A and B are shown apart, each in its own frame.
Chain A
Amino acid sequence: MKNGFADSIRRTFAIARNTVLEAIRNRAFLGMGIAAFGLVVSSIALSSLAVRDQAERVLVDFGLAATSLMEIVIAITMGVILVFKEIDRKTFYLVLPKPIRRSEVIAGKFVGLLGVLGASLLLMAAGWLISLQVKGISIPAGVPQALLLVWAQAALITSVAIFFSSFASPVLSGVFTFGVFMVGSSVTVLQELMQARKGMLATPGPARLIAEGAVAVFPDLSVFNVGKELILRIPVTWEYVGASMLYCGFYCLFFLAIGALVFQRRDFS
């Protein structure tokens, strides 16, 4: 076929567009987004921390952490039901016989969810920054970089969720994905424990072996967390952001490719 790649992109975006539409028209999702927005704004606006310096630290850190966590929640919940719902509701019977590859369907779902994550990220970030302004706290310089990294982390978790959901039930996929998130967030802690002089992971043994395996296999999510730098007003360079995005892209490709491979072989009966 001529223009094979352009066609592939076109089909992927057709699915992505529909995925965004689905999220926008989903009342539960909209409600969740608005609730999260309200929570961030109100908790910051209403906080009455006494010490000026402490308030600044907490509000900067809290806002970013809350935004990041909301993104993870959206990534996991939507990521695990995205494919399942289409199978469960049998809407795939109409889509898959069309001239489209199953890998394009998976990629389209992923891209669509990236859009949803991006939009909700902007919304929550707006709430966060506005409330910082209201409190008279100057906005740290590295905010765009920090938000981009939050988005990248959510993308990575989305790909993990899609990977698991290609063969496991939504609940199991959710649990597994959350597990990956937890381990991935603790990779640096594990490394520190292994380098410590004392403790379970410091000496050779099964626990250390497992920890070593985890460090080697799981994505290190601390890469995407620059809250500390933000508070300490340490600049986050675009080179760092670029490298982190590459790191993220590598893992996304890996998980999506396996997910698509499993999906490809699946019977829809």
Chain B
Amino acid sequence: MDEIIRVENLSKTFRTPFRRKRVDAVSNVSFVVRRGEIFGFLGPNGAGKTTTIKMLTGLIQPTAGTVSMLGGGPADLSVRARIGFLPEQPYFYDYLTPVELLDVFGRIFGIPARIRKERIESLLTQVGLFEARNRTLRKFSKGMLQRTGIAQALLNDPELVILDEPLSGLDPVGRKEVNDLIATLRQQGKTIFFSSHILADIERLCDRVVILDRGVTKAAGTLSELLTSDSGEREILAGGITDVSGLNGLDGVVRCETYGTDAVRIVCESAASDRLVGTLLRAGGTILGVNDRRISLEQLFVSRTIREKSCPATDNEGEVRGVSE
């Protein structure tokens, strides 16, 4: 089975009891998460990420649509036994020590006592809390709590790890640690579903993403699919040529500009790129690079979410940059 999660037409409408106001937190969202991938669930605050994750973990019931995961549904105990979950801003029994907390959860998972003890010690070592293992959680810093949360999410050696905003609120060192941990988990063959509004981290880690805004899917796919603009344009970087005006007149050239002191950057139709490379070489230039024009995830994010709200007619051209570095 290659599909770990299949979400189909998932919707959640919250109703405030008295004023009868409706909030469509999630509307008709569908996606598939495959085994072994890091799946990014991206969207600004209030997009509906946490609501969707709560439906995946059985904390709330969908208004409509279905969730199937690991061959069952969110309510199946056998499915839950194979999932690790880190909630957004996790809260703990603060009268317990991390060892005791993990022990409670280990008992729920039904991990036998001896294995439980070993697993807890190795996990606490892995997240760097071994020294603090017998201090009560009340005395833990935010970063330490987040690491405790990660440890409990890995306690059952899950196949699927669901992390809700695991990087928000951490300092740069903490973020790097969590990033590395996610990468390690993937190497172990785990499937990771994580939500974020932090674009850079999604961009660095994720194989595929869904972009959510106000409950609606704005984009979905692999990063390379999403980041390749569908304009069908390429970018040629050529050295030894400075005559921009001459190039601008050529067939297939969209735009042209100087690049540094001794180079030009030509944006052209993809179909014309081979011919233009030939032209440039004959004119005595050297080709420094030819790339499909890609936009960064951030630009995609902004263009698909914010743009529609405030300035629907904005010309996006200026924001596009090459990803050739």
Do the beta carbons of B92 and A21 come within 8 Å of each other? no
Docked CA distance A25–B137 (Å)? 13
A93-B100 Cα distance, complex, nearest whole Å: 18
Min distance, Cβ A75 to any Cβ of chain B, angstroms:
21
Q: Is the CB of B109 within 8 A of A98?
A: yes
Contact A91 B93 (CB under 8 A): yes
Tell me, rounded to whole Å, the shortest Cβ–Cβ distance linking B161 to chain A. Answer: 12
Task: Report how far A183 CA is from B80 CA in the complex, Å.
Answer: 43
Q: Which 8 A-B pairs have the closest CB atoms?
A: A14-B107, A97-B57, A25-B95, A267-B60, A99-B77, A90-B91, A99-B80, A93-B87
Using A1-B78, A97-B85 as known contacts, say yes or no to A267 and B104 having CB atoms under 8 A apart: no
Closest to A13 in B: B107
Chain A positions within 8 Å of B91 at CB level: 89-91, 93-94
Given the interface contacts A90-B91, A267-B60, does A99 sit within 8 Å of B109 by beta carbon?
yes
Min CB gap B311→A, angstroms: 33
Does A94 lie within 8 Å of B108, measured CB to CB? no
Query: In the complex the two chains form, what is the Cα distance from A100 to B109 in whole Å?
Result: 8
Q: Is the Cβ of A17 less than 8 Å from the Cβ of B95?
A: no
Q: Say which size band chain B's interface belongs to.
A: 20 to 34
Query: Is residue A11 contacting chain B, with contact meaning CB distance below 8 A?
Result: yes
Q: Which residues of A contact B272 (CB under 8 A)?
A: none
Interface status of A233 (Cβ within 8 A of chain B): no
B interface footprint on A90-114 (CB within 8 Å = 1, 0 otherwise):
1111111111110000000000000
Q: Determine whether A7 belongs to the interface, using a CB cutoff of 8 Å to chain B.
A: yes
Q: Are B59 and A269 in contact (CB under 8 A)?
A: yes
Given A10-B110, A91-B93, decide whether A267 and B77 contact each other with a Cβ distance below 8 A.
no
Q: Is A268 an interface residue (CB 8 A)?
A: yes
| Complex interface residues of chain B between 215 and 243 (CB less than 8 A to chain A) | none
**A18-B93, A91-B93, A267-B61 known; A99 and B81 CB under 8 Å?**
yes
CA distance A100 to B108 in the complex (A): 7
Question: In the complex, A91→B80 CA distance in Å?
Answer: 17
Q: Contact string, A14-30, partner B, CB cutoff 8 A, digits 1/0?
A: 11011001100110000
Interface pair A98/B80, CB less than 8 Å apart: yes
Which residues 71-115 in B have Cβ within 8 Å of A in the complex?
77-78, 80-81, 83, 85, 87, 89-93, 95-96, 100, 104-105, 107-110
Interface centre among A7, A14, A15, A17 (most CB of B within 10 A): A14
A21-B95, A100-B77 known; A14-B108 Cβ under 8 A: yes
**Considering the complex, which residues of chain B in the window 271-323 have a beta carbon less than 8 Å from any beta carbon of chain A?**
none
List chain B residues, Cβ under 8 A from A21. 95-96, 100
Alpha-carbon gap, A268 to B14, bound state (A): 12
Q: Which residues of B contact A96 (CB under 8 A)?
A: 57-59
Q: Beyond the given A13-B107, A93-B91, could you list 20 further A-B residue pairs with CB under 8 A, ordered by the A residue number?
A: A1-B78, A10-B110, A14-B104, A14-B107, A14-B108, A18-B93, A22-B95, A26-B95, A89-B91, A90-B90, A91-B92, A94-B87, A96-B57, A97-B80, A98-B109, A265-B61, A267-B60, A268-B59, A269-B14, A269-B59
Q: Is the CB of B107 within 8 A of A10?
A: yes
Question: 5 A-B Cβ contacts within 8 A?
Answer: A21-B95, A22-B95, A94-B92, A95-B105, A95-B108
B203 → A minimal CB distance (Å): 28
Contact with B along A72-92 (1 / 0, CB 8 A): 000000000000000001111
- Determine whether the beta carbon of A268 is less than 8 Å from that of B60: yes
**Residues on the A chain within 8 Å of B83, using CB:** 97
Q: Which residues does chain A contribute within 8 Å of B100, judged by CB atoms? A: 21
- Report yes or no: B59 in contact with A93, Cβ–Cβ below 8 A: yes
Bound complex: CA A182 to CA B324 (Å): 77
Contact partners of A15 in chain B: CB under 8 A = 108
Give the contacting residue for B59; candidates A10, A91, A100, A267; CB below 8 A: A267
Q: How far is the CB of A149 from chain B (nearest CB, A)?
A: 32
Considering the chains assembled together, what is the distance between the CA atoms of A15 and B80 in angstroms?
Answer: 17
User: Which B residues lie within 8 Å of A91 (CB)?
Assistant: 91-93
CA–CA, A14 to B81, complex, Å? 16
Residue of A nearest to B155 (CB): A98
Please give, as numbers and ranges, the residues of chain A lying within 8 Å of B85 by CB-CB distance. Answer: 94, 97
- Of A10, A13, A99, most buried by chain B (CB within 10 Å of CB) is A99
Docked CA distance A1–B100 (Å): 27
Contact with A along B141-161 (1 / 0, CB 8 A): 000000001001000000000
Cα distance A14–B57 in the bound complex, in angstroms:
20
CB distance from A269 to the nearest CB of B (A): 5
For B152, give the chain A residue with the smallest CB separation: A94
Q: Given the interface contacts A1-B78, A14-B108, A98-B80, does A22 sit within 8 Å of B54 by beta carbon? A: no
CA distance A100 to B75 in the complex (A): 9
A234-269 to B contact mask, C-beta < 8 Å, 1/0: 000000000000000000000000000000010111
Q: Is B51 an interface residue (CB 8 A)?
A: yes
| Contact present for A17 and B59 (CB under 8 Å) | no
Q: Which residues of B contact A101 (CB under 8 A)?
A: 77
CA distance A14 to B60 in the complex (A): 23
**B110 and A7 contact, CB distance less than 8 A:** yes
A92 to B59, CA, bound (A): 9
